[in-house]
Every structure is written in C-alpha cells, then in structure tokens.
C-alpha cells in the first residue's frame, strides 16, 4: 500500500511539473525541452529551471507535502541531483558519529559542503552551505536554480545572479560583473546579530535565561527564529517586448532542535517532528492575522529544521535600460507570536512573542492559514 502511495504522489508531481506539455499522461521532465513546449519547470544543465516565481512557490509547496521516499523517487526519475539529497547523504554519516574527535574529522572532510557553527565549539550542528532558507528545496547540489532568465547560484554568504542565464558566465565572474551580466548580493544584515535574522526569542526562554536555545532537559533543546529571505531576478515579457525584474521577500518561522547523549556531550542535529499553535502575525502596515487550529499541526520527520512561510511580498520593476537594477525590498516591521515545540519535548508547547507593533497583543478577529508550507 505504501509503495502504491509513493508512486501515486510521484505521478501527481510529474503531471503538475509538466502541465504545459500537451499530454494527458505523466511524463518525465525533458532535460532539453524545445522552446515551444517548455513546461513551467524542467531540468537544464543539472539544475531546475522555472518559468517564474509562482512556479517556484508551487513546487516548494508540493514538495512540502511529499515524504522523503516520494521526493527521492521523483528526483531519480528526472535525474536531478538536489541539495537535499547531497545533504541527507552527509547527514546519514554525521548521525553515526560517536565522538567529538570523529566530528572534527568529519568537519575537516566536508568543509565547503556543509555549514558549521564556528562560534560555539559545543555546538556540533550542521546545515546547508547556502545563504537561503526558502529556496533550498529547489537548489541542486551546487546551489544553482534558474528563475525566469536569471541563473542564481547560492554560496554560504551570498547569492550570485547571472542575468542572461548562461552557466558559463560563472567561470569568469569578474569580467561578467563589468559587463553588467552578473550581480553579487551579499547576505543582508537584519535587525540583530545574524544574517537574515529578524529575531530568535532569547527573552522567551522558559528557564528565565536570556538564551535563544531552550533546554527542556539536559539532552534536548529547541531554537526558534524569525527570518527574512529577499530576492530579485529578471525575465523577459514577450507579450510586451520588455525586460522585467521580480523583487520580493519571504518571511519565515524556523524551528530547529538538537540533542546530546548526556550533559557532558556536545549538541548535534537530529531528525524529529515539529509543532506549533496559536500563531499570530503583523507585517508592515498590514492587519493582525491569527491562526488557531483545532489541533496543532505537526510536521513530517525532518532534519536539520522545519520552516513555515508566514508572509511574502513581491513586485515587478520595468527597467529603463540594461543598467537600471531595482533595489531589494525594504525589510518590514514584523510582529509575531505562537506556541512552539517538537517531538523531543513530548509535545509540550511554550510561548514566544515578538511584539513591535502597538496593539499587537489584542485579538483581531482576522484569520489566515500558513499550513501549506509546513
């Protein structure tokens, strides 16, 4: 029964991803499709190429509903080597490490392939080596994705946009910068100490300690972060014969748990389920929105973290010439609160709160549902 379900999900995914192709049957994504029949997403030079940001959002939301077996089956059928697959292979090795010395050797072997916490020697966690959270599900193992005409490469500290989409331009970045074909955007400093971080709720630690990591026991801890992912890419509007830039952001609530064998050991990531309840948000000059489900939603078993998109914004910019590049959208004020937990905490939720708008704590009566991205 489970095998049948996996193939049913894969068939559904392939059907959606090839929606522009004239066929009633699920078909594999053509690695080099003809221009006249290109679907909204296909594989090109080993990375996923999307028609627009709406196609990216649809695929990320679909992947969030699939378990790892279904995602692996889909990636194999389209011959896509994803960042997810590369990370999971290394995580399987990491999960078997028995000592700090073994972790140090693992870290030395995989520097550049993973991101490590260099600021805390007791934190032996690992993460994707890319300066994004939202786009990770659609990156290939080298951090590449194409949106519109732009080829985007994420590194651990920045993202590089190749305006004309030619992958060979990455072999000569300096000269391509001078011609205006390549733009390099460093990760953006947000309100606090970390890149893209809005808030990590240290003042809400139930223990009373001012620490963003809450240790419920000596062997389990949880960290919650409010983050922002800003982006821009260009595409060509053939109907009106003009170049267009899409500029936007995603505001993300991220949950990450860690464990250790005893109080003398160092912390490391593990696979677990996450949950939340009584979520509320206010972004910019917008209204207060609440989400109060009858039963708190629970994520699938994931590593190294789970995230939910709680708000997003995008706009379109029409340049007057090839050197007219739009600025990134400004970071809005964000108020946020919820109750949060994970499987290692036995489902016991605790409240976190980041109220920067006046009157945010009052009930609004306006509701929204963030679940599709969970």
Q: How far is the C-alpha of 293 from the C-alpha of 276, rounded, in Å? A: 10
Asked, for residue 58, whether it belongs to a domain, the answer is no
Q: How many separate domains does the chain show?
A: 1
pLDDT category of residue 354 using cuts at 50, 70 and 90: very high
Asked, for residue 177, whether it belongs to a domain, the answer is no
Residue 70: cis peptide before it, omega within 30 degrees of 0: no
Q: Which residue has the higher pLDDT, 294 or 136?
A: 136
Residue range of the domain that includes 256: 188-374
Is the entire prediction scored with pTM above 0.85?
Answer: no
Report the DSSP pairing between strands 274-283 and 334-342: antiparallel
Q: What digits encode the pLDDT tens for the residues 240-294?
A: 888 888 999 999 999 999 998 877 788 999 999 999 999 999 999 999 999 988 8
Asked, for residue 94, whether it belongs to a domain, the answer is no
Asked, for residue 334, whether it belongs to a domain, the answer is yes
Q: What is the CA radius of gyration of the chain?
A: 21
DSSP β-bridge partners for residue 252: 227, 309
Q: Is 67 helix (H, G, I), strand (E, B) or coil?
A: coil
DSSP β-bridge partners for residue 276: 340
pLDDT category of residue 370 using cuts at 50, 70 and 90: confident
Asked, for residue 157, whether it belongs to a domain, the answer is no
Asked, for residue 240, whether it belongs to a domain, the answer is yes
- Number of Cβ atoms within 10 Å of the Cβ of 32: 9
């Amino acid at each position: 029964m489970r095998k049948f379900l996996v193939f049913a999900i894969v068939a559904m995914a392939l059907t959606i991803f090839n929606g522009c192709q004239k066929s009633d049957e699920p078909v594999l994504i053509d690695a080099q499709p003809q221009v006249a029949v290109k679907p909204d997403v296909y594989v090109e030079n080993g990375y996923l190429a999307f028609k627009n940001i709406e196609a990216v959002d649809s695929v990320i939301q679909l992947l969030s509903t699939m378990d790892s077996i279904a995602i692996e089956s889909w990636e194999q059928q389209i011959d896509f080597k994803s960042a997810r697959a590369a990370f999971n292979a290394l995580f399987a090795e990491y999960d078997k490490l028995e000592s700090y010395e073994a972790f140090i050797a693992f870290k030395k072997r995989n520097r550049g392939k993973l991101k490590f916490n260099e600021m805390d020697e007791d934190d032996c966690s690992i993460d994707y080596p890319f300066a994004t959270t939202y786009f990770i599900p659609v990156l290939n193992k080298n951090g590449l994705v194409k949106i519109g005409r732009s080829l985007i490469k994420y590194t651990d500290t920045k993202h590089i946009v190749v305006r004309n989409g030619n992958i060979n331009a990455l072999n000569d970045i300096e000269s391509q910068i001078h011609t205006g074909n390549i733009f390099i955007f460093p990760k953006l400093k947000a309100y606090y100490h970390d890149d893209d971080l809005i808030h990590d709720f240290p003042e809400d630690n139930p223990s009373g300690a001012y620490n963003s990591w809450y240790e419920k026991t000596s062997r389990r801890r949880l960290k919650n972060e409010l983050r922002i992912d800003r982006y821009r890419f260009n595409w060509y509007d053939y109907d009106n014969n003009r170049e267009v830039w899409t500029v936007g952001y995603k505001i993300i609530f991220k949950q990450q748990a860690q464990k250790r064998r005893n109080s003398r050991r160092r912390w490391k990531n593990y696979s677990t389920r996450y949950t939340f309840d009584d979520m509320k948000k206010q972004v910019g000059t917008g209204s207060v929105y609440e989400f109060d489900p009858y039963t708190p939603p629970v994520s699938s078993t994931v590593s190294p973290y789970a995230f939910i998109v709680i708000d997003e914004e995008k706009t379109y910019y029409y340049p007057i010439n090839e050197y007219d590049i739009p600025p990134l959208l400004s970071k809005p004020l964000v108020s946020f609160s919820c109750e949060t937990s994970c499987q290692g905490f036995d489902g016991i939720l605790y409240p976190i709160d980041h109220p920067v708008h006046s009157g945010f704590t009052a009930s609004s009566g306006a509701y929204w549902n963030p679940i599709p991205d969970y």
